[in-house]
Structure 1
Amino acid sequence: MVSFSRRAAALLLGACLAAPAWAADAPKVKFATSAGDIVVEVYPDKAPKTVENFLQYVRDKHYDGTVFHRVINDFMIQGGGMDRNMAQKSTRPPVAHEGRDAYAKGLKNELGTVAMARTADPNSATAQFFINVADNTRTLDPPGPNAPGYTVFGRVVSGMDVVNKIKGVQTARSGMHGDVPVVPVVINSATLVR
């Protein structure tokens, strides 16, 4: 009985010590933007298809030269799909929606989380993503009004001050797009970092 208790305690201690290592092993992407650097950590164990899709766009340099083209203070900042001239970049086929699975594993549209943008079709997400600049769990998580929700796959771990700077920029209409920054906020590069 005593050896079992010691073994159980050792396993518990090992599990506690392993948790920070898991977080340290989560892939990170640095967005070098015209407003400063933002580093996001992504969770392949919670949204594997979404994370692989996102990381492939990073590896392909798709995000380099794109802009945050939709900025709504107290809601979100969206980017990854338009170039500086507001022309949409070509993408690969959409990724399967993982919103409900990610939500069940604890990922919610909370302040500082990163999610995939999509149309009304849950399986339409390609390259565009958004960073929540408010707690949007009631409106963007399943089973809310936008059921089945938006797939959260990461979190800002550095550069929230930059996100806050971007969310406060002046916006206007640009062609058929609303909430476009008057002065473009450019993603100069997106790179995997450790």
Structure 2
Amino acid sequence: MMRSFSVIFLFLFSVTCNAKNLAIDPDNLFPQVKLETSMGVIIVELDRIRAPLTVDNFLTYVVSGEYDDTIFHRVVSEFIVQGGGYNENFELKKVNENIVNESGNGLKNEIGTIAMAKERHPHSANRQFFFNVNDNTSLDPGRKWGYTVFGAITEGQEVVDAMALVTTDYSDVMGWEDVPLEPIMLIKASLLPAL
């Protein structure tokens, strides 16, 4: 128990220090991020009160330019639009440490929200995120860990809706279906000035 507490404390300390080093204002409880994509602009408002670790992790990738020139590599109609992990050549981008799952924060995987992608292990989210294009209650916590929602779209829902309709197919490179035939680029992600 003490070892788990120590690991969580060190993780929180490192995330906080990293955020401070990158000039992320810790007092801005609802930071906004502008995502300039090849299909239009999306603005999301993040909820640092409900998902502080997830928001600071996401902002670390934003302000360091790590989301720039990545793709939305997975599009499942009436489900999700996922990106943030690969460049246009399907090469995996640099990954920081995994973060603690905050899916029990009361935010739901509803249409228009942004959430962290993860693997089967509950605390395996790191840099990939997705937009919910439906009310995805199956992704919320219940008898198992859910997917952490950490914000919502305030502008550009129509852009995400258009992304959800693109033609997808199986990719030999990725080894899965639901890959857009024409790449959808995340050209630039930027932290907007505090209101």
TM-score over 0.5 for the pair: yes
1:72 correspondence with 2:85: no
Runs in 1 of length 4+ with deviation above 6 angstroms? none
* SS of match in other structure, 2:163: helix
* SS of match in other structure, 1:190: strand
Partner Cα separation in structure 2 for residue 193 and residue 62 of structure 1: 16
* Corresponding position of 1:167: 164
Per the normalisation by structure 2, the TM-score is 0.82
* Corresponding position of 2:136: 136
* 1:38 alignment partner, one of 39, 42, 50: 42
Q: Which residue identity lines up with residue 181 of structure 2 in the other structure?
A: V
1:49 correspondence with 2:53: yes
* Corresponding position of 1:183: 182
Cα deviation for residue 148 of structure 1 reads: 1.1
* Corresponding position of 1:62: 66
The answer for unaligned runs of 5 or more in structure 2 is: 1-27
Deviation string for 1:97-155 (max 9, x for gaps)? 1111x12xxx1000000000000001000100000000002x010106xx211000000
Which one has a larger percent helix, Structure 1 or Structure 2? 1
Larger Rg: 1
Cα deviation for residue 25 of structure 1 reads: 6.1
Partner Cα separation in structure 1 for residue 43 and residue 176 of structure 2: 27
Cα deviation for residue 177 of structure 1 reads: 2.7
Partner Cα separation in structure 2 for residue 179 and residue 125 of structure 1: 20
* Corresponding position of 2:109: 109
* Corresponding position of 1:97: 101
Partner Cα separation in structure 1 for residue 47 and residue 145 of structure 2: 19
* Corresponding position of 1:155: 152
Partner Cα separation in structure 2 for residue 80 and residue 45 of structure 1: 23
Instruction: Using the aligned pairs only, state the percent identity.
Output: 45
Per the normalisation by structure 1, the TM-score is 0.82
Partner Cα separation in structure 2 for residue 83 and residue 188 of structure 1: 10
1:27 correspondence with 2:26: no
Deviation string for 1:24-80 (max 9, x for gaps)? 961000110000000001001100000000000001111001000000010000000
* SS of match in other structure, 1:184: coil
What is the alpha-carbon root mean square deviation over aligned residues?
1.2
* Corresponding position of 2:15: none
- Number of aligned residue pairs: 164
Partner Cα separation in structure 2 for residue 94 and residue 115 of structure 1: 15
Cα deviation for residue 86 of structure 1 reads: 1.0
